[in-house]
Amino acid sequence: MKVSENSIVFLVLYVDDILLIGNDIPTLQHVKTWLESFFSINDLGKRSYVLGIRIYRYRSLRLIGLSQSTYIDKVLRCFSMHDSRKGFVPASHGMHLSKGQFLTTSYKREHMSKIPYAFAIRSIIYTMVCTQPDVSYALSMTSKYQSNFGESH
């Protein structure tokens, strides 16, 4: 991040991809020219996606929005939940999870062993870190039971 007077520039780096974001075109151009003096760069222009995250621009309001709806839909399909109801409440009020809710019968254990619970947790972590911090509490509550989970988890 570079801040000077009324301009701000963010340089986001992932392996060999760079995303430059800022509120001042001359400053962005200066950073780009500086980078070109050290590295070979291919300018791909304005990006609408980066790492599976869609970038929305609201220029009239000078705002940027981020969405992972495509990624979330992909994860829901992976777990056969694509027809599930979508909402804004990540955890139901009054919902309590405990170790005592794990599966006791061998049939239930065998059935639940086919569910990649840890993979689901990791998928949600990526979404939480990038665009959905509101799911952090629900994720914290459910991730505790990765080694011994039941249907309620």
Residue pLDDT, tens place only, 49-85: 888 889 888 889 978 888 988 888 888 888 777 787 7
| pLDDT at position 100 | 61
The pTM is what? 0.64
Give the Cα-Cα-Cα angle 77, 83, 84 (nearest 5 degrees): 100
| Reduced 3-state DSSP string for 21-62 | EECCHHHHHHHHHHHHCCCCCCCCCCCCEECCEEEEEEHHHC
Is the confidence at residue 143, as pLDDT, over 90? no
Distance CA 108, CA 121 (A): 20
pLDDT in tens, 21-39: 888 889 999 999 999 999 8
**The pLDDT value given to residue 36:** 92
Q: Please say whether the beta carbons of 50 and 19 come within 8 A.
A: yes
Core vs surface per residue 7-23: b (16+ CB within 10 A) or e: eebeeeeeeeeeebebe
Amino acid (1-letter code) at residue 98:
S
pLDDT in tens, 76-106: 888 777 787 766 555 665 666 666 655 555 6
Q: Which of 82, 98, 92 is nearest to 137 (CA)?
A: 92
